[in-house]
Structure 1
C-alpha cells in the first residue's frame, strides 16, 4: 500500500536552532503552524522540575531557570563519537551534561533523572512536529521526508532515521538540506541553471553545486562543515560579553554561573540577529549576578556595533568561503559559471556573510526563497512526489552524491579510496588487490569513510575477513574488491579470490550509537509517550477550538456593547474585563496551554452571556 493511500505525507527540516514541518496542499508546498500558531519550532527540549517533558517554545522560555536540564543544539551531537573534537568542545561550552554511552563510543545527555541518547532528544522534536501536522490534517501522518546536512556521515544519517522511528514516523527518505532547498527554489517554474546552495544554519554549514533541468536535480558536488553555524557566532558574542563584564567588575568570571550563561546566550543571539538590520545593538542584563551576603548585585550594560561583530566572526565566514571554494573546485566549476546562488539558513541574513558570497561569486545572491522555510518546503515536495508517483515517470528526479570518500585500509595503514566523494548514487566500483605476504591464508577488509591519508584517521564503517586463500608467494593472489552504494545510501562490500572463487561480503549498516535491543526498548517507551502526547494534542485542539470560537463571538459583540453603553460605567467596566480575559486567552493560545484554556473557558462563557444580554437590552445585534 502506498503512502498516498494511507494518508497525508510531510517534509521536516530538523534544524539545530529551529525546526519546521510542511506539506503540499492543492499542488503547492506550505508550512504547517505549530500549536502556538508559529511556523518555526525551537529545537529545544527540557525536563521541568516536576518531571514533565517540554518541547519547543515552552522549553526555550524556561531555559534560563532550568539550564542544566534544557537541551538545545542536539543536532550538533547526533551521531558523534565520545571523545571526538566536537564533543570535547561541546562539553566545555554547554550548560547541560554530556556522558559516554554504555559502550563508550557514542555521546549521551543527562537531562532530568535519566540519561538520553541523542536520537531520543531529536525524536522529541520530531514527535512535536508530527503532532502539529496531525492536528492540521485532523488525522494520522502516513510518512515523512526528513532533511539532514549534505555533509552528514552514515552514522549521523542513521541516527536521524532512528529518531524518526522513535517519534513514530515512517521515514520515506532522508535527503540533503541543500538539495531540498533547490527543490523548493525550482518548484513550479521551468528552471535550467547551474545553482549553488549556500546553507549556513544554526549549527552546520553546507554548500552544494547542482545542475537543474526542469524536474531533474543533479547534484555535482557537496562540501561542508557539520560543526560550523550560528551557535559559533553566538559563542563569539558571549565571550566578548564575558570579557567586558570581567573588565567592568574587577575580573568576575561568569562562566561558573549556568543561569547567567543562559541569559548571556539569549542576549548574544538577540544582538547578533538585531545587527543584521541595525548598525548597533544594546545588551542590557540587570541583576546578571545576584547580590547576597552584603554584596551588591551586578548588571551588564554593553553596546555591540556591527563592525565589532564582523571582526569577532570574520574567521568563521572565511571558513565558509574556503569550503565553498573547495567544493566548486571539486565540481570543476568557476564562480563565474554559476547562474544562481541560493542563500539558506538564518545566518545568511548577516551582512558580512552576504558580502562574502557576493565578493566570491561576483554577483548578488538570489532573494527568491525564505532562508528559514525553504528546506522544509523542499522536503514536502519530495515527500509528495514519493507518495504520489506519476505513471509517466518521477515528478521530481533527485540525483544525489556520496559526501565522503569510501575505501579500505591497505598495507602500511594507508587509506585507498574506492568510491570518491561526489560520485552520483547508486553506484559501484571494483578494484584488484594482491596479497602482501607469502602463503597468506586470509585477508582482512576494513571498510572506511573519510579523506585522511592514514586509515586510522578515517571512520571505520565495518570489517570482514576473506579466508581460504590458496598458498602462494606475495603478490601472486589477486583479490577483487567491489563497493556498491544503493540509492538509499546503503553500502555493500564484497571480496573474491579470483583464482578459487572464494567470496565474502558485508552490508554496512551505519550505527547511531543505539543497539537494536536499546532501540526496541526506546520504541516501546516512546509508544506510550506518543499515546499520551496524542491524547494531550487532541485535548488542546478541542480547547483551542472552543476558546477561539468564544473569543470571536465576544469580539463581534464589543462594538455594539461599547456604542450602546458608552455612558454606562457598568457597561464599560464589563468591556474592560472582557478585554482582559480575551488577552489572557490569546496568551494561553500562543503558549498552547490546554490547562489554562480550560480554566478560562468558563470566564469566556460568562462574558459572552453577559455581552449577549447587554447587546440585547441595547437593541444591538445578537451574535
Structure 2
C-alpha cells in the first residue's frame, strides 16, 4: 500500500514477532555467500510484476489500485531485460471502498428517516446491519443495473417494528459516489507528471483492488488514459502473485532474471531555520539511496543541534509528519555558520530510513534508525516473539473467550432493546426468563469461564426464540414474506439479507 516509514517498520516488526525468518543467504555474482533480508514491496509494484513477468518487452505500465481503504497509482517502466523501474507513485490514504459504502449508507439512512422519522445513524447495531447490506448492494451493482436492500426489523418504535426495503439503481449509486470517483483523478495526474509522461504514453493500465470492478471506475480509467484497463488479472490475487514472484527472485540471488527498482513514495527531509522543510530524499527516488549534505549552526557559540526528521510534501516542516529526532552535542563554541555538520540520510531497499549527523571538526556523530512512534527495537521484537510463543495457548483461549463474549454482548443488546420497545406485549414469565438468561451470561463473563459462557449463551438464544414466538403469537400475525427465511434465533432458512446482517457482527 501507500505506506509511510513507520508503517514499513511496523511490517518488519510484525514479521519478526510472528516468527518469520526475514533474513536469508544467497550467492552473489562474485560467487560469495551474502546475507540479505526479505524486502517490502508496494502493492502496485507487485501487481505490475505479476502482469508483466512473462511479457518481456519494453513498456510503460500504470497500476491503478483502488482497494477497501486506500487508493494507489504507480507508473513503471518495464524492460526486456527484466528490470522493473518504478518511475513514480502517488495515492490517497483516505479513499477506498469503505468511502463508497459510507456514501450509500448515508443516502439510505436519510431516505429511511424521511419515511419513518427514525434516524438509524444513532443506532450502532442498525448501522452495522446497514453497512453489510450496502456493501453487498455495491458489489451487486457491478454486475446488475439495480439491486434491493432488504432489512426486516431494522428498528422499532411505539407503533411496532420497522422494515427497510429499498431499490437502488446503478446510475443512482454512481451519482452518489461521483465526488469520490473524481478524487481519483488528482493522484493519477500527479503520478504522470512526476514520471514526465502523458496519459497516451502509457502502454497498459493494470486494474488492482475490488473497487476496480465498478463500471464507473473502469470508465474513469478509459477517460484518463484513452484505453480500457487490463482485466486479465484477478484484482484480488494479483498483488499476492507479484509478491511471491519477487520473493522467489530474491532467493535466486545472482540467478534472478528480474530486477526491481522501487521508489520512496514521500519526501524525506529535516527541519531547518525558520521551520522550513529541507528535502534530503525527494519522493519517487529509486531505493536504496544515500545522500549527505553539510549544515551549520544558526546562533553564536551553539554547542548542540537537534536534527528533526520529517516525511511529506509540505514546504513547512510542522505541516508534515515528524518521524524522529535526535541531538548532536559537543560542538566546539564558534560563531554562527562556522561549524560544519554533515547530515546523511540512508534509505534501504525496504524504504526504512537511517539518519546520521557528524561534526566534521571533532568527528563526533549521532545517528538514529527511524522506527516511527510505534517502532520497536530488535530486543523488543525478540522479546515479544518469545512471549507470543510462550503464551500461545493462553492467547488462543483469551481470544476465543473475547469473541464469545462479543457474541453474547451483541445478543444482549438486541434483547434489551426489544424488551424496552415491546416489553408491554410480553408476559412476565417471558421477560423473567430472558432476564435470568442475561444474568447467567453476565456471571459467566465475570468468572471468565469459557465453557459456562458458551452454555449461558445457548440458553440465552433459547429464551430469545421463545420470547419471539410468543410475541408473534400475541400479535396474531405471521412474519411477512420478506422475513420468512429466518427464525428469531438467526438460523438460516433462506434469505441471506436477514441472516448476514443480523448475526455476522461478532467482533
Instruction: Give the counterpart of 2:78 among 193, 209, 212.
Output: 212
Aligned to 2:186: 322
Question: Which whole-Å CA distance do the structure 1 matches of 2:124 and 2:396 have between them?
Answer: 34
3-state DSSP of counterpart to 2:286: coil
Aligned to 2:446: none
Aligned to 1:235: 102
Segments of 5+ residues of structure 1 without an aligned counterpart are 1-148, 536-583, 585-623
Q: State which drifts further: 319-328 or 483-492.
A: 483-492
Match of 2:230 in 1: 366
Which has the higher mean CA deviation after the structures are superposed, 377-386 or 203-212? 377-386
Counterparts of 1:486 and 1:242 in 2: how far apart (Å)?
48
Contact 1:209 1:328 in 2 (8 A): yes
Secondary structure in structure 2 of the residue aligned to 1:222 = strand
Change (3 A) 1:180 1:532: farther
Output the CA distance in 2 between the equivalents of 1:507 and 1:514. Answer: 11
**Aligned match of 1:446 in 292, 308, 318?**
308
Equivalent positions of 1:235-384 (< 5 A) are 235-250=102-117, 252-290=118-156, 295-384=159-248
Which residue is 1:427 aligned to? 289
Q: How far did 1:319 drift? A: 1.1
Please give the alpha-carbon distance, in whole angstroms, between the structure 2 residues aligned to 1:178 and 1:362: 20
Select the residue among 280, 286, 306 that pairs with 1:418. Answer: 280
TM-superposed CA distance for 1:470, in Å, is: 2.7
Change (3 A) 1:501 1:527: closer
Structure 1 residues 463 and 514, CA, compared in 2 at 3 Å: closer, same or farther?
closer
Counterpart residue number, 1:174:
40
Q: Structure 1 residue 362: deviation in Å?
A: 1.1
Gaps of 5+ in 2: 23-37, 398-491, 493-507
Residue 3 (structure 2) pairs with residue 152 (structure 1): yes
Per-residue deviation at 1:269? 0.6
Superimposed CA distance per residue, residues 244-284 of structure 1 (whole angstroms, 9 cap, x where no aligned partner): 1101102x111232221111011101111111122111111
CA distance in 1 between partners of 2:140 and 2:361 (Å) = 69
Between stretches 469-478 and 436-445, larger displacement belongs to: 469-478
**Counterpart in the other structure of 1:395:** 257
Cα distance in structure 1, aligned partners of 2:249 and 2:373: 29
Q: 1:434 to 1:165 in 2, by over 3 A?
A: closer
Aligned partner of 2:497 in structure 1 is: none
Which residue does the alignment assign to 2:472? none
Write the deviation string for residues 411-458 of structure 1: whole angstroms up to 9, x where unpaired.
Answer: 111111011010001111122222111121121111111112221222
SS of equivalent to 2:88: strand
Aligned residues: 382
Separation (CA, whole Å) in 1 of partners of 2:175 and 2:85: 37
Paired residues of 2:5 and 2:370 also in contact (CA < 8 A) = no
Secondary structure of the residue aligned to 2:69 is coil
Aligned match of 2:340 in 478, 502, 506?
478
* Structure 1 stretch displaced more, 421-430 or 256-265: 256-265
**1:567-589: CA deviations, max 9, x gaps?**
xxxxxxxxxxxxxxxxx9xxxxx
Question: Which secondary structure does the structure 1 equivalent of 2:135 belong to?
Answer: helix
Does residue 189 (structure 1) correspond to residue 55 (structure 2)? The answer is yes
Equivalent residue number for residue 28 of structure 2: none
> What is the TM-score with the length of structure 1 in the denominator?
0.58
Q: How far apart, in 1, do the equivalents of 2:224 and 2:69 lie?
A: 23
Q: Secondary structure at the match of 2:350?
A: coil
Question: Which of 346, 355, 364 is 1:502 aligned to?
Answer: 364
Q: CA deviation at 1:514?
A: 6.1
1:321 and 1:357 in contact (8 A); partners too: no
- In structure 2, the residue matched to 1:15 is none
Q: Greater shift after overlay, 432-441 or 159-168?
A: 159-168
TM-score (norm. length: structure 2): 0.71
SS at structure 2 position matched to 1:412: helix
Question: What is the correspondence of 1:514-525 to structure 2 with a 5 Å cutoff?
Answer: 522-524=384-386
| Partner Cα distance (1:513, 1:507) in 2 | 10
The aligned runs of 1:540-579 (5 Å cut-off) are none
CA contact (8 A) 1:406 1:421 kept: yes
1:345 positional shift: 0.4
Q: Is the 8 A contact 1:167 1:530 kept in 2?
A: no
